[in-house]
Amino acid sequence: MADSFTLNTGVKIPSVGLGTWQSEPGQVKDAVAHALKSGYKHIDAAFAYGNEAEVGEALKEAFAAGVKREDIFVTSKCWLTYLRKPEACLDESLQKLGLDYVDLYLMHWPVPMNPNGNHPMIPKHPDGSRDLDTEWSHIDAWKAIEKLPATGKAKAIGVSNYSKKFLEELLPHCSIVPAANQIENHPYLPQQEIVDFCTSKGILIEAYSPLGSTGSPMFNEEGVQEVAKKHNVGPGTVLISYQVSKGHVVLPKSVTPSRIEENMKVLKLSSDEMESLEKIHKTKGVTRFVYPPFGVKLGFPDKD
Ligand SMILES: NC(=O)c1ccc[n+]([C@@H]2O[C@H](COP(=O)([O-])OP(=O)(O)OC[C@H]3O[C@@H](n4cnc5c(N)ncnc54)[C@H](OP(=O)(O)O)[C@@H]3O)[C@@H](O)[C@H]2O)c1
């Protein structure tokens, strides 16, 4: 199975990366440290996760122990209140991570929010609705992000949570085609429309919440368990292998050492097994585990 895929910049990206969302302070440093010791070469971070300083502590210790910066692929993401000034968000992330550059920098969601609102991350109007930056589009945001590779602080840039509709709006305005689109993806949400569209444009899919996020029902899903039993592995390994077999980067999160190790294992699944996993959503229905907290229609067919 592929250890890595190639971005449209020509750079390789390891196919499995450790997710760090909801990895609590006090846990995330150990999780990243354990992952790096176990052989992970890819860490998925974000300004919004509020834990990049601890991720940075683990990276610093690993580098001190001989791991080379150039052997580790680090992603961060620009938060929505910074989409007029993404370099400022990137600078804060780099400072916390203790890095000079990230390998990939993503627009977290295509939804600019008021940078001068009543909260630095999630500004709201008095009626409780989200205070969006209606004078600054996701296209304006991307144009600002396009300036980052020239600074040397982001080797590649990409997007996250982009539907086909939003990418179709964006692409005619791009001087740099996004290298990746990080979206929720798993057997309950294959998102074939955006997957096919990205593939046709050379934009790599990164699967987030590949296990179904916290409290996932997919571990007990019969179709997943059947394949797991055949290979004598846990359901997590099947869900991770499913993504790599589809040519997607996969970003499982865990703070549990044994699971961090387990999640590195990628199996070659047969075409019959892949077909049976692909069929699950047709009988079980489509389920999304991560909803955008903005009250805006993003153009995903299952949601709007
Ligand atoms: N771009 C975006 O908007 C976006 C949105 C969501 C997620 N992401 C990225 O994608 C990453 C993964 O998504 P996610 O955090 O939502 O969830 P996930 O990786 O699908 O699932 C994580 C959950 O599964 C558990 N788990 C991990 N490995 C397991 C295994 N082998 N067996 C049983 N349980 C296991 C974890 O528990 P323990 O930790 O307790 O082991 C945790 O509760 C995030 O951390 C983040 O980096 C990006």
Q: State the chain's maximal CA–CA distance in angstroms.
A: 55
Q: Give the model confidence (pLDDT) of 12-55 as tens digits.
A: 999 999 999 999 889 999 999 999 999 999 999 999 999 999 99
* Percent of the chain's residues with pLDDT above 70: 99
The pLDDT of residue 266: 97
User: What residues form the annotated binding site for substrate?
Assistant: 108
Residue whose CA lies nearest to ligand 1 atom number 26: 254
Q: Quick one: pLDDT band at residue 294, thresholds 50, 70, 90?
A: confident
Q: Residue 292: its pLDDT value, please?
A: 74
* Tens-digit pLDDT profile for residues 115-139: 999 999 999 999 999 999 999 999 9
Tokens representing 180 are 């990746």
20 touches ligand 1 (CB under 6 Å): yes
The ligand 1 atom at the shortest distance from the C-alpha of residue 262 is 31
Residue type, 51: N
Helix (H) or strand (E) holding 88: helix 86-97
Tell me the C-alpha distance between 147 and 9, whole Å: 15
Give the H/E segment covering residue 228.
Answer: helix 222-231
Q: What is the pLDDT of residue 293?
A: 65
Question: CB within 8 A of 64, min separation 6: which ones?
Answer: none
Residue 304, pLDDT > 60, answer: no
pLDDT of residue 303: 64
Instruction: Indicate the domain borders of the chain.
Output: 4-284
Q: Kindly report the number of other CB atoms within 10 A of residue 196's CB atom.
A: 12
Just give the CATH number of 4-284. 3.20.20.100
Residue at 102: amino acid letter? V
* Residue 192 in this model has a pLDDT that exceeds 60: yes
Q: Which residues, listed in sequence order, are joined to residue 102 by a DSSP beta bridge?
A: 154
Angle at 95 between CA 93 and CA 101, to 5 degrees: 70
Annotated catalytic residue within 49, 82, 105, 188: 49
Q: Is the CB of 114 under 6 A from ligand 1?
A: no
Residue 155 has pLDDT above 80, yes or no: yes
pLDDT confidence of 285, banded at 50, 70, 90? Answer: confident
Which residue in 222, 198, 217, 216 sits closest to 277, CA to CA?
A: 222
Report the C-alpha gap between 200 and 177 in whole angstroms. Answer: 12
Reported as a single tens digit per residue, the pLDDT across 49-95 is 999 999 999 999 999 999 999 999 999 999 999 999 999 999 999 99
Ligand 1 atom at minimum distance from 252 CA: 19
Tell me how far CA of residue 281 lies from CA of 163, 218, 285, 286, in angstroms. 19, 11, 5, 5
Q: How far apart are CA 233 and CA 44, in angstroms?
A: 25
For 227, other C-beta atoms within 10 Å of its C-beta total 24
User: What's the gap in Å between 19 CA and the centre of ligand 1?
Assistant: 6
pLDDT tens by residue, 230-277: 999 999 999 999 999 999 999 999 999 999 999 999 999 999 999 999
Tell whether ligand 1 has an atom less than 6 A from the beta carbon of residue 22: yes
